[in-house]
Amino acid sequence: NAGVTQTPKFQVLKTGQSMTLQCAQDMNHNSMYWYRQDPGMGLRLIYYSASEGTTDKGEVPNGYNVSRLNKREFSLRLESAAPSQTSVYFCASNRDRGETQYFGPGTRLLVL
């Protein structure tokens, strides 16, 4: 039982490059989330998926897209990376809204 896994752990991009961050959970959770955390700051919700087949914008969705591929997997795509997207990205999941969220180990992204 791995919980929430994320790949890659680290990534360096040049401005304008694209990439997809992968997230998977093996807890049969319905809801999944993508957050970013900038140095010394709190978590900000980018996108979430309340259930398979649905996605919704969070607080800071601009510059990102998501796909809920199936119940297990929720990916985050940066189409044209910008230095302002340098951050640590956390994926999380929970059984249902309002319940405890379980986080992946994070992806550290540097955009030059």
Partner 1 sequence: RKEVEQDPGPFNVPEGATVAFNCTYSNSASQSFFWYRQDCRKEPKLLMSVYSSGNEDGRFTAQLNRASQYISLLIRDSKLSDSATYLCVVNPSLGNAGKSTFGDGTTLTVKP
Binding site for partner 1 (CB under 8 A): 31, 33, 35, 41-43, 45, 48-50, 56, 58, 88, 90, 97-106
Quick one: residue 3, left, alpha or beta (phi over 0 = left, psi -120 to 50 = alpha)?
left
Evaluate whether 19 touches 10 at the Cβ level (below 8 Å): no
Q: How far is the CB of 111 from partner 1 (least distance, A)?
A: 18
What is the nearest approach in angstroms of partner 1 to the Cβ of residue 58? 7
At 41, list the tokens.
């700051």
Least Å distance, CB 36 to partner 1, is 12
**Nearest-angstrom CA–CA distance, 44 and 37:** 6
Residue 17 or 86: the one with the smaller Cβ distance to partner 1 is 86
For 39, the token pair is: 């140095």
Of residues 17 and 102, the one with the C-beta less far from partner 1 = 102
Cis bond leading into 61, ω under 30°?
Answer: no
CB of 107 to partner 1, least distance (A): 11
Nearer to partner 1, 26 or 56 (CB): 56
